Amino acid sequence: MHIDIQYLPSLEYCALIFAEPQIEFEVFENFPKQTYRNRSYILGANGVELLSIPIIQGASGKQLTKDVQIDYSQDWIRKHKGAIQASYGKAPFFEHVEPFIDQIFAKKSKFLVDLNIQFLNTIARFLQKKPQFSFTESFNEAPENSFWNVIDSKKEYSSRNIYVPVAYRQCFGTEFVANLSVLDLIMNYGIESREILQKSLNK
């Protein structure tokens, strides 16, 4: 499957890619702003919260995804870690997951793609399901089995017919909030998250 690479991705995205044996990430695209590539949504005491990674803008205004560098002049790591702690500190699997998050943030990866693939590998570890990940070597506009640019943060998941919400216990609120970051599910269900993801994919 051909797809863009996203940050702490949504349940919709993870249900899709972890059902496939091979994933090819498109990294020769022109990096688009305000997408899941550098943003994610978690659930806190005050509702849904956006986690956004600041990036260093290219000199020409455009740059390839593979070249996008993270801006560490902004104190975003502390904010993301604090938000994750506040949201999931009492979740059943927080103590198992949090050390891996700390390790990834501590590396301070230069490139966004490197950070995102580290999180995907960690997610795969907790799901105990690992597709073969690879990256494009040039821009591939119309490959077979492509979901590139399909999972768009500006459109509701219901418009795509990929993800079917399966309610599970969350840390906050009385009504289930669908399609958050997969982190929300893993913090609450650990390895059982795999079965919920499988049921969430509209086959």
- What is the SS3 string spanning the chain? CEECCCCCCEHHHHHHHCCCCEEEECCCCECCCCCCCCEEEEEECCEEEEEECCEECCCCCCCEHHHCEECCCCCHHHHHHHHHHHHHCCCCCHHHHHHHHHHHHHHCCCEHHHHHHHHHHHHHHHHCCCCEEEECCCCCCCCCCECCCCCCCCCCHHHCCCECCCCCCCCCCCCCCCCCEHHHHHHHHHHHHHHHHHHHECC
pLDDT tens profile 177-193: 999 999 999 999 999 99
What average pLDDT does the structure give for the chain?
95
pLDDT value of position 61: 77
Report the predicted TM-score, pTM, of the whole model to 2 decimal places: 0.95
pLDDT value of position 129: 92
pLDDT at 13 over 90: yes
pLDDT value of position 59: 74
pLDDT tens profile 21-42: 999 999 999 999 899 999 999 9
